[in-house]
Structure 1
Amino acid sequence: MSVQETAFQGFSNPVDPSPAELRAWAYQPDSVPLQSMPQDWDLLVSGDRLITTLFELAMDRSCPARRFALHCLYIYAADGIRTKFRAHPKRRLRKLVEQAEQTGDEPMLVWAHNSRVLLARPELFNYHEWCEGGLVRQGRRLG
């Protein structure tokens, strides 16, 4: 039985979900609506511990919570770049960007491009675009 077929049982601790819980929720996101999650849940889960899971979900075109996962990737990239990689390892972000460039579809290629642009020009950071979902909703490439 795959994760997609397993009934999501809820989070043992929504503030700190396990990768398996996040993955199970992502395939049944209506089971626990985002509105019922703790405030700034997207910011809470966009850290090193869950970034691989979020990346896998964002790469999966069939994942119902794909847009949420992609939004979290934008938060992760911006957080790392804005803190000069005190918050997250530069090597990990670079690997994710390279993997998205090699095997990702258009939304992932746009994320990789935008991450590279922000890395080269951190002054282009805009909280609304990177942390509130603006770039995910617009799907636009930064110049």
Structure 2
Amino acid sequence: MSVQESTFPGFANPVDPSPAELRAWAYQPDSVPLTSMPPDWDLLVAGDRLVMTLFDLAMDRSCPARRFALHCLYIYAADGIRTKFRAHPRRRFRKLVDQAERGGDEVMRTWAHNARVLLARPELFVYRDWCEGGLVRENRRLD
């Protein structure tokens, strides 16, 4: 039985979900609505421990929570860049960007492009775009 076919029972600790729990939820996001999650849940899960899971979910065009995962990747990228990679390893960030450019669809290539633009020009950071989902909703490429 795959993750997509099983029933998601909920999070043992929603503030610190496991990669398996996040993946199971992502394929059944209506089982635990985002509105029932702790405040700023997106900021809580957009860290190093779950970034590879979030990346895989964002790369999967069939994932029902793909936009949420992509939103968390924007948070992750901005957090790393704005802290000069004290918050997240530069190497992991670059690996994700490279992977998105090589194997991602247009949405993921846009994320990678925007991350590279922000890396080159950190002054372009706008909280609404990077942390409140603006770039995800608009699927806009930064100049």
- 3-state SS of 2:135 partner: helix
Runs of 4+ in 1 over 2 A off after TM superposition: none
CA positional deviation for 1:59: 0.1
Q: Which residue of 1 aligns with 2:4?
A: 4
Deviations 1:35-69 (A, max 9, x none): 00000000000000000000000000000000000
Partner Cα separation in structure 2 for residue 103 and residue 79 of structure 1 = 23
CA positional deviation for 1:8: 0.1
Q: Which residue of 2 aligns with 1:40?
A: 40
Q: Which residue of 2 aligns with 1:104?
A: 104
CA positional deviation for 1:84: 0.3
The equivalences for 1:54-133 within 5 A come to: 54-133=54-133
- 3-state SS of 2:53 partner: helix
- 3-state SS of 1:4 partner: coil
Partner Cα separation in structure 2 for residue 32 and residue 42 of structure 1 = 14
Partner Cα separation in structure 1 for residue 70 and residue 3 of structure 2 = 19
CA positional deviation for 1:133: 0.1
**Alignment: residue pair count:** 143
For normalisation by structure 1, the TM-score amounts to 1.00
Q: Which residue of 2 aligns with 1:22?
A: 22
Partner Cα separation in structure 1 for residue 129 and residue 113 of structure 2 = 14
Partner Cα separation in structure 2 for residue 49 and residue 135 of structure 1 = 23
Partner Cα separation in structure 1 for residue 2 and residue 119 of structure 2 = 37
Show structure 1 runs of 5+ residues with no match.
none
Deviations 1:71-93 (A, max 9, x none): 00000000000000000000000
The code of the aligned residue for 1:51 comes to V
- 3-state SS of 1:5 partner: coil
Partner Cα separation in structure 2 for residue 44 and residue 25 of structure 1 = 15
CA positional deviation for 1:32: 0.3
Identical counterparts, % of pairs: 83
CA positional deviation for 1:4: 0.3
Deviations 1:74-127 (A, max 9, x none): 000000000000000000000000000000001000000000000000000000
Partner Cα separation in structure 2 for residue 92 and residue 134 of structure 1 = 24
